[in-house]
Amino acid sequence: WDDESKLIVSYQSIKESRMVRRFKETDLKNRVEGLDIFTVNLDFSKQIYHGAYDQQHELNYGLDAFYNGVDSRAFSEDTESGGVSSLDTRYPDGGSSMYSFALYFTDTWEISQKTIANMGIRGSHVGLNANFIDQTFFPFPFNSISQRNSSINGNLGLIYMPKESLRFTLSAATGFRAPNVDDVSKVFESVPGKVIVPNPSLKPEYSYNLEWGSEVKLFKALFLSMNVYGTYLSNALTIQPGTVDGSDSVFYDGSYSEVITTTNASQAFVCGVEGVLRSKLGKYFDVFGTVNYTYGRILTDSVPYPLDHIPPVYGKLSLDYHNKHFSLEVFVCYSGWKRYNDYNLLGEDNYAFALPEEGMPSWYTLNTRLNYAFSKNISLQLACENILDRNYRSFASNISAPGRNFIVTLRGHF
């Protein structure tokens, strides 16, 4: 049945806190989330040879499961008097949980020395429970949310290598994402004046993916690769205007805010391209460069609307020198301009922190790293990031990135 089997059982405990106190106010608002994660994975692998050309099948199959338990607490503390009062929680105060159970099977088939096919299938069942006890802050028309979702998904792929210096890949796959606790049940001010509320009727989203890639080797030391991909989303999870008990606004955190909620858009798509360059310049120098471009839109009855979480074009270009004990890397990280028209004004793109009517400007940083190995076991690295001390922000961030900064690292292997 198998050549090798593996069982992994794990537990992780996470605590995340958000403390907020507005300028010149004494109320310190505390929201604390506790998360317990249990996972189990049982995996088997088997190699089978057959046929006149000794074709090989590499089989993997097994099951995996997880359970997440979320405990959400909140309180407001007066920093002068020490008094404590109640506060609405980010997630359901009665606790929430999510579990998943899945069976999978994959086969990598080496048809010949030039052609490899891979295929796989996965059946998943996902459950979610959330309980709302305190209705003081939000009189939701429900006391709990319970969901059960199942799906079967698969993938097909082909790798073709006509010669040693050329490689092509083609793959198609379907995907399934059941709403999680964050999607279904959180209460959160995503942007100023807009508050996200729970949506118990949220459905899973499904994806249909197609990807083509190629890699070519030129002049024995130059590698160029490119991947082009597209994803069509059905029932895509997006942020849209909503209501609470028939009202499009609620009193939240001291003021009235517009109600928004995670909903299922009928259709959406994401497509993009990524390119990579790797090259050796003589014995001691390496060049490495990447570029990534992504485009995503929600399909509406009129004009397609931007998906959130879509970054602008970005990448890296580096030159590396190395010998037996010493290495030096000089690299540039860059990001294109995220135009205001490409922002999702309802989602989590944080357009409020971009320039009005302009968006987030493009930027680049010049950086370097120097490493010296005293022996096989001990090395010292000195690094300087953002050498030009540029003032910039990454897309969707409301905090300026670090200015010129220095890092000293001592590494030991024993």
Tens digit of each residue's pLDDT (9 = 90 or more) over 3-29: 999 999 999 999 999 999 989 889 999
* Model pLDDT, residue 194: 81
Q: What is the mean pLDDT of residues 182-200?
A: 82
> What percent of the chain is modeled with pLDDT above 90?
63
Q: Is the pLDDT of residue 51 over 70?
A: no
- Model confidence at 238, pLDDT cuts 50, 70, 90, reads confident
Report percent pLDDT > 70 for the chain. Answer: 98
Q: What is the DSSP string of 49-72?
A: EETTTTEEEEEEEEEEEEEEEEEE
Which residues on adjacent β-strands are paired with residue 236? 265
Tokens for 196, please give them.
């996200």
Phi, psi values for residue 395, rounded to 5° = -55, 135
> Which of these, 41, 58, 47, 46, lies nearest to 6 by C-alpha position?
41
* Average confidence (pLDDT) over 78-96: 89
Q: How confident is the model at residue 142 (pLDDT cuts 50, 70, 90)?
A: confident
Q: Which one-letter DSSP state was computed for residue 341?
A: G
Q: How confident is the model at residue 193 (pLDDT cuts 50, 70, 90)?
A: confident
Residue 65 banded pLDDT, cuts 50, 70, 90 = very high
Quote the pLDDT of residue 143: 87
Q: Residue 1: its pLDDT value, please?
A: 84
Q: Give the Cβ contact number of residue 398 at 10 Å.
A: 9
Most confident of 39-43, 186-190, 195-199, 373-377: 39-43
Placement of tokens 């999510």 in the chain: 98
Alpha-carbon gap, residue 316 to 287, rounded angstroms: 11
Give the three-class secondary structure for 21.
coil
Which among 284, 343, 345, 346 is positioned nearest to 312, based on CA atoms? 343
Give tens-digit pLDDT for 241-258.
Answer: 888 777 788 777 667 788
Tokens of 297: 């839109």
Longest dimension (CA), the chain: 84
Query: For the segment 88-139, what is each residue's pLDDT rounded down to a tens digit?
Result: 888 988 899 999 999 999 999 998 889 999 999 999 999 999 998 887 777 7
Beta strands of 79-114 (E only): which ranges? 84-86, 96-110
Of 87-101, 212-226, 249-263, 268-282, the one with minimum mean pLDDT is 249-263
Give the pLDDT of residue 54. 65
Assess contact for 96 and 115: CB atoms under 8 A. Answer: no
pLDDT at 405 over 90: yes
**Does residue 191 surpass a pLDDT of 80?**
no
Q: Are 101 and 135 in contact (CB under 8 A)?
A: no
Choose the weakest-confidence range: 154-158, 200-204, 346-350.
346-350
- Of the candidates 75, 155, 35, the residue with the CA atom closest to the CA atom of residue 107: 155
